[in-house]
Amino acid sequence: MTSIALKSFLGLRQSSPETTHFSYRPKLTTHRRKFTVVAGVSSPKLNGRNLRVAVIGGGPAGGAAAETLAKGGVETFLIERKMDNCKPCGGAIPLCMVGEFDLPLDIIDRRVTKMKMISPSNVAVDIGRTLKPHEYIGMVRREVLDDYLRNRAKDNGANIINGLFLKMDIPKEKNSPYVLHYSSYDGKTGGVGEKCTLEVDAVIGADGANSRVAKSIDAGDYEYAIAFQERIKIPDNKMAYYEDLAEMYVGDDVSPDFYGWVFPKCDHVAVGTGTVTHKGDIKKFQLATRKRAEDKILGGKIIRVEAHPIPEHPRPRRLSGRVALVGDAAGYVTKCSGEGIYFAAKSGRMCAEEIVKGSANGKRMVEEGDLRKYLEKWDKTYWPTYKVLDILQKVFYRSNPAREAFVEMCADEYVQKMTFDSYLYKTVVPGNPLDDIKLAINTIGSLVRANALRREMDKLNV
Amino acid sequence: MSTTFSMASFSPLTPISTTHSSSHCKPHHHNTLSTLTLRPKNHPFFTLSPLRVSAGTSDSPETAVKQPPENISVGTNGSASAVTVPEEIKVSNGFVDPRWVAGTWDLMQFRKNGTTDWDAVIDAEARRRKWLETNPESSSNDSPVVFDTSIVPWWAWIKRFHLPEAELLNGRAAMIGFFMTYLVDSLTGVGLVDQMNNFFCKTLLFVAVGGVLLIRKNEDVDTFKKLLEETTFYDKQWQATWQDENSSNSNK
For residue range A252-290, what is the model confidence (pLDDT) as tens digits? 999 988 899 999 988 889 999 989 888 888 999 999 999
User: B207 pLDDT band (50/70/90 cuts)?
Assistant: confident
Alpha-carbon Rg for chain B, nearest whole angstrom, is 30
In a 13 Å sphere around the CA of B69, the CA atoms on its Cβ side amount to 10
Distance from CA of B132 to the nearest CA of A (A): 7
The residue among A216, A166, A189, A416 whose CA lies nearest residue A323 is: A216
Query: Do A316 and B240 lie within an 8 Å CB cutoff?
Result: yes
Within 10 angstroms of residue B103's Cβ, the number of other Cβ atoms is 14
Percent of residues, chain B, with pLDDT higher than 70: 60
Between chains, do B235 and A387 touch, taking CB under 8 Å as contact?
Answer: yes
Query: What is the predicted pLDDT for the residue at A42?
Result: 63
Between positions 113 and 172 of B, the ones with CB within 8 A of A are 122-123, 125-130, 132-133, 136-142, 144-150, 152, 154, 157, 160-161
Q: What is the pLDDT of residue A78?
A: 94
Task: For chain B, give the mean pLDDT.
Answer: 66
Best to test chain A binding among B43, B87, B237, B243 (most A CBs inside 10 Å): B237
Interface test with A, best of B93, B122, B129, B159 (most A CBs within 10 A): B129
Residue A278 identity: H
CB of B234 less than 8 A from some CB of A: yes
Instruction: Report the C-alpha gap between A43 and A359 in whole angstroms.
Output: 8
Helix (H) / strand (E) containing A232: strand A224-233
Rounded Cα gap, residues A402 and A386, in angstroms: 20
Q: Which of A220, A283, A453 lies closest to B149 in CB terms?
A: A453
Q: Is the pLDDT of residue A148 over 90?
A: yes
What's the gap in Å between the CA of A394 and the closest CA on chain B?
Answer: 8
% of chain B beyond a pLDDT of 90: 0
The torsion angles phi and psi of A2, rounded to 5 degrees, stand at -65, -35
Using CA atoms of A452, A454, A458, A460 in order, give the dihedral in degrees to the nearest 10.
80
**Mean pLDDT, to the nearest integer, of B98-117?**
85
Please tell me if residue B67 touches chain A, with a CB cutoff of 8 Å.
yes
Residues A230/A270, Cβ–Cβ less than 8 Å: yes
The mean pLDDT of B182-207, rounded to a whole number, is 84
Q: Is the pLDDT of residue B252 over 70?
A: no
Closest residue in chain B to residue A295, using alpha carbons only? B140
Residues of chain A contacting residue B151, judged by C-beta atoms under 8 Å apart = none
Task: Return the pLDDT at B246.
Answer: 55
Average pLDDT score over residue span A74-91: 84
pTM of the model: 0.74
Stretch B87-94: mean pLDDT = 48
Q: How confident is the model at residue B45 (pLDDT cuts 50, 70, 90)?
A: very low
| Strand A202-205 versus strand A323-325 pairing type | parallel
Q: Are B68 and A287 in contact (CB < 8 Å)?
A: yes
Quick check: A40 pLDDT over 50? no
- Do A351 and A204 meet the contact criterion of CB atoms below 8 Å apart? yes
Report how far apart, in Å, the C-alpha atoms of B171 and of each of B164, B167, B213 are.
13, 6, 12
Ramachandran category for residue B90: left, alpha or beta (phi over 0 → left; psi -120 to 50 → alpha): beta
More confident residue, B136 or A301: A301
**Which is higher by pLDDT, A293 or B201?**
A293
Mean pLDDT for chain A?
A: 84
In this predicted model, what pLDDT tens digit does every residue of B145-186 receive, in sequence order? 888 888 888 888 888 888 888 888 888 888 888 888 888 888
Residue A181 confidence class, pLDDT cut points 50, 70, 90: very high
Q: What's the CA gap between A203 and A184, in Å, rounded?
A: 18
- Count of residues for chain B? 252
Nearest-neighbour CA in chain A from B177: distance (Å): 26
Residue A221 banded pLDDT, cuts 50, 70, 90? confident
CB contact under 8 A, B39 and A294: yes
**A348-396, pLDDT tens digit by residue?**
999 999 999 998 888 888 888 889 999 999 999 888 888 888 888 888 8
Question: Is this complex scored with an ipTM above 0.85?
Answer: no
Output the pLDDT for position A378: 92
pLDDT for the residue B244 = 58
Tell me the pLDDT band of B102, cut-offs 50, 70 and 90.
Answer: confident
pLDDT tier for residue B56 given thresholds of 50, 70 and 90:
very low
Query: Is B236 an interface residue toward A (CB < 8 Å)?
Result: no
For residue B201, give how far its alpha carbon lies from the nearest alpha carbon of chain A (Å). Answer: 27
Residue B245, pLDDT score: 54
pLDDT tens digit string along A298-323?
888 998 898 888 898 899 989 888 99
**Total beta-carbon pairs less than 8 A apart between chain A and chain B:** 173
pLDDT over 90, % of chain A: 29
Whole-angstrom Cα distance, residue A385 to residue A339? 11
Q: Which helix (H) or strand (E) holds A29?
A: helix A25-36
Q: Do A291 and B71 touch (CB under 8 A)?
A: no
Across the interface, which of A232, A241, A453 has its CB nearest the CB of B125?
A453
d(CA A412, CA A431): 14
B139 to A460: CB separation less than 8 angstroms, yes or no: no
Report the range of poorest mean pLDDT among A220-224, A354-358, A399-403, B43-47. Answer: B43-47
Secondary element (H or E) of residue A127: strand A124-127
Give the Cα separation of A118 and A403 in Å (integer): 9
Query: What distance in Å separates the CA atoms of residue A400 and residue A393, rounded to the nearest whole number?
Result: 13
**Amino acid, single-letter form, for residue A128:** G
The pLDDT value recorded for residue A90 is 78
Share of chain A above pLDDT 70, in %: 89
Segment A418-421 long-range contacts (CB within 8 Å, at least 24 positions apart): A419/A127, A420/A127, A420/A128, A420/A130, A420/A131, A420/A135
Q: Which residues of A touch B152 (CB under 8 A)?
A: 449
The mean pLDDT of A149-172, rounded to a whole number, is: 91
User: How many angstroms separate the CA atoms of A153 and A159, rounded?
Assistant: 8
Check pLDDT > 60 for residue A11.
no
More confident residue, B54 or A381: A381
The H or E element that residue B111 is part of is strand B111-112
What pLDDT, on a 0 to 100 scale, did the predictor assign at position A187?
64
Asked if A299 and B38 come within 8 Å (Cβ–Cβ), the reply is yes
Q: Which pLDDT score is estimated for B250?
A: 43
Residue contact B38–A383, C-beta within 8 A: no
Residue A293 has pLDDT above 60, yes or no: yes
Q: Is the pLDDT of residue B143 over 50?
A: yes
